[in-house]
Structure 1
Amino acid sequence: MNILLTGGLGYIGSHVAVVLTEAGHRVTILDNLCNCKVEVLSHLAKILGSSPIFIQGDVRDQVLLESVLKDGKIEAVMHFAGLKAVGESVQKPLMYYNNNVGGAISLLKAMKICQVKTFVFSSSATVYGVPKYLPIDEEHPTCPESPYGQTKLHIESILRDLANSDDAWNIIALRYFNPVGAHESGLIGEEPNDIPNNLVPYISHVATGKFDKLKIFGNDYKTLDGTGVRDYIHVMDLAEGHVAALNYLNKKLPKFSIINLGTGAGYSVLELVNLYEKVSSRKITYEISGRRAGDIASCFANVDKAAFLMGWRARRSLHEMLEDSWRWVSQNMTIEL
């Protein structure tokens, strides 16, 4: 199939580009480069033997989108283009609604005009908010606690309404838990432009000497070691989940589905720190601080629906996640000895 990846040079999109291409699909990437580097394209070429088609542009440019969809004979779209920093979304909510919700609307309008109605949406487990029970299944109540989370939930509502309005649409919203790791080649991985918002990139910066220490917020939770527990999933497992989602959509079954992508297991902050020390052979200095407002003890997914509907389960271990993360970091960032 001819598939358009919006935001396809970003962390998730670039790994999905690899697995889609290796599965025989023809990938076109649209990215405005606001949170990634164009050099990712040459890294993809090294992995794949040739570079995907790349168009620099903004997902809010509907005229450009229509041209890309028509010229590329696009048959399905995977939508990764979106701002994703929770803290920034609290400070700049209008920017997040404009980019995330506005961009999704522009894209869907262009798709409707071009009669492209197969769509995979990059959503997030943040839409669930504070867990009411564990593991979190897709029927869990939604109550996002940030503008970022609200944008994801708004887009999901738009997609549900769109599917209800026209049986030709086939849509899946994939709710990611916590993607980590990198491609096994070490050529692509997570590279935040600023101070990392996520735990593993921050740990890796401590390992390289870029940061002096990791601050752990709370060690008095009701968990095995007192630190917060989360569901971490290897980015390549996540990417393979998108191929499974596309295969499921091509069966023309339910017109709109919401599916969790996680491992179904939780790992604590200290578990990650200790294992990262082993895979990197570097000391991860940390200090314990007080809990942050809104932080929770544990959060992990029920992934039975993905297994039942798509035949997909995460296969890679936490050790592989961190080993691949360290390979990417050690090959691509300056390490201060």
Structure 2
Amino acid sequence: MAILVTGGAGYIGSHTVVELINENYDVVIVDDYSNAKPEVLNRIKELTGKEVPFHEVNITDKEALRPVFEQHDLEAVIHFAGFKAVGESVAQPLKYYSNNIHGTIVLMELMNEYDVKKMVFSSSATVYGMNNEAPFTEDMPLSTTNPYGTTKMYIEQIIQDQFVADNRWSAALLRYFNPIGAHVSGRIGEDPNDIPNNLMPFITQVAVGKRDKLSVFGNDYDTHDGTGVRDYIHVVDLAKGHIRALEKVLETEGVEAYNLGTGTGYSVLDVVKAFESANDVEIPYDIVDRRPGDIGTSYASSAKAKAELNWEAKLGLEDMCRDSWNWQKNNPNGYEA
């Protein structure tokens, strides 16, 4: 039986596929390349020695997605597919609600139809909103500051409601914080379309000369240096967290939320300095206005994931900075030749 990975050609999805194959899972990938490149499939094969069955499908298209369920004996779904840029979601909320929520409903309808009722869902720390104090714990009340976060919060509720309707469902809602880093080989990594929305690919593109300087969004937050504080987690640690969650989901029924983070907050300027130190590269930057919907401080308590999934992050900020730069300097144009 196989694990369906939606968005499996994307940044986190591709690293998770590699780790799944390393742990002897059969994998099927669905992706529409809206935020991914076809070359990643070649890199996955290079790293694992396995050719992964792939379907180029947007999950909002039910009849295009149906053959995936008909052609493969699926055991569970790891669901990454969705738009993910906070700023864009504020500017284009309907795009996010239509794609992220409708796409998940279509996916779950087919999961019901084909009796595949095990899911690991890619949620987000954005569901903790602005009214909770870090470190965030899974039992805190949820709220959001932007449409992207709202889609994640709504989908969590949809999955919980589906379990109430059918107790054979089992799902892990993985609320992760700020993934950075890349595979240690430097063969797969984050390759955003257009201007990066996340900090590390912006830093690496400055380092490799694709951009003149980094834009730091706000220096008037209530933090030690005024810049936003986040819990940065190595993407490989994050990928392994999905496999531990999958193991739990395959053995149980019910819906549980888990934070995946390091439990340590670093400011934007902390990350810049760590990158410069780890790689001996200077990163010029400008302070610009805050982004709509951003909060000042966000970091996790991952005690529940450690206790129930036997998972904790192993890699530190220096590893994240080193592996991010190793990916970018060896792939200055990402997956494009």
* TM-score, reference length from structure 2: 0.95
Residue number in structure 2 paired with 1:259: 258
In 1, the alpha carbon distance for the partners of 2:333 and 2:102 equals 38
Structure 2 Cα separation of the partners of residues 101 and 291 of structure 1? 27
Q: Cα offset for 1:114?
A: 0.2
Render the CA deviation track for 1:103-151: whole Å, top value 9, x for unaligned. Answer: 0000000010000000111111111111421200011221111111111
User: 2:11 touches 2:189 (CA, 8 Å); kept in 1?
Assistant: yes
Are the structure 2 counterparts of residues 6 and 292 from structure 1 closer, same or farther at C-alpha, using a change threshold of 3 Å?
Answer: closer
Match of 1:305 in 2: 304
- Given the superposition, is the C-alpha separation of residues 164 and 133 from structure 1 closer, same or farther in structure 2, using an over 3 Å criterion? same
Q: Is the 8 A contact 1:230 1:268 kept in 2?
A: yes
Aligned partners of 1:150 and 1:221: how far apart in 2? 23
1:332 to partner: Cα distance: 0.4
In structure 1, what is the equivalent of residue 139 of structure 2? 139
Query: How far has the Cα of 1:231 moved from its partner?
Result: 0.2
Q: How far does residue 290 in structure 1 lie from its aligned partner after superposition?
A: 4.9
* Residue identity matched to 2:183: H
Query: Which residue number corresponds to residue 149 of structure 1?
Result: 149
**Structure 1 residue aligned with 2:327:** 328
Aligned counterparts of 2:19 and 2:185: Cα–Cα separation in 1: 13
Give 1:221 shift: 3.7
Where does structure 1 lack aligned partners over 5 or more consecutive residues?
Answer: none
Q: Structure 2: which 5+ residue stretches go unaligned?
A: none
Residues 205-254 of structure 1 show CA distances to partners (whole Å, capped at 9, x for unaligned) of: 111121111222333444333322110000000000010001111221x5
Query: Which residue in 1 is equivalent to 2:48?
Result: 48
Aligned to 1:66: 66
Q: Which residue of 2 aligns with 1:32?
A: 32
The letter for the 1-side match of 2:132 is: K
Structure 1 residues 116 and 334, CA gap change in structure 2 (3 angstroms): closer
Distance 1:334 1:123, change over 3 A: closer
- Matched with 2:101 is 101
1:4-27 deviations in Å (ceiling 9; x for gaps): 001100001100000111111000
Shift of 1:298: 1.7
Partners of 2:292 and 2:61 lie apart in 1 by 38
Aligned to 2:217: 217
Q: What is the identity, as a one-letter code, of the residue corresponding to 1:259? A: Y
Structure 1 stretches of 4+ moved >6 Å: none
Query: Contact 2:76–2:119 at 8 Å: present in 1 too?
Result: yes
- In the alignment, is the contact (CA less than 8 A) between 1:203 and 1:273 conserved in 2? yes
Structure 1 residues 285 and 245: alpha-carbon distance in aligned structure 2, compared to 1, 3 A threshold: same
Q: Report how far residue 204 of structure 1 moved.
A: 0.9
Would you say how many aligned residue pairs link Structure 1 and Structure 2? 334
Asked if residue 284 in structure 1 is aligned to residue 299 in structure 2, the reply is no
Superposition deviation, residue 57 in structure 1 = 1.0
- Rounded to whole Å, the distance in 2 between the matches of 1:167 and 1:132 is 31
- What is the distance in 2 between the residues matched to 1:327 and 1:26? 29
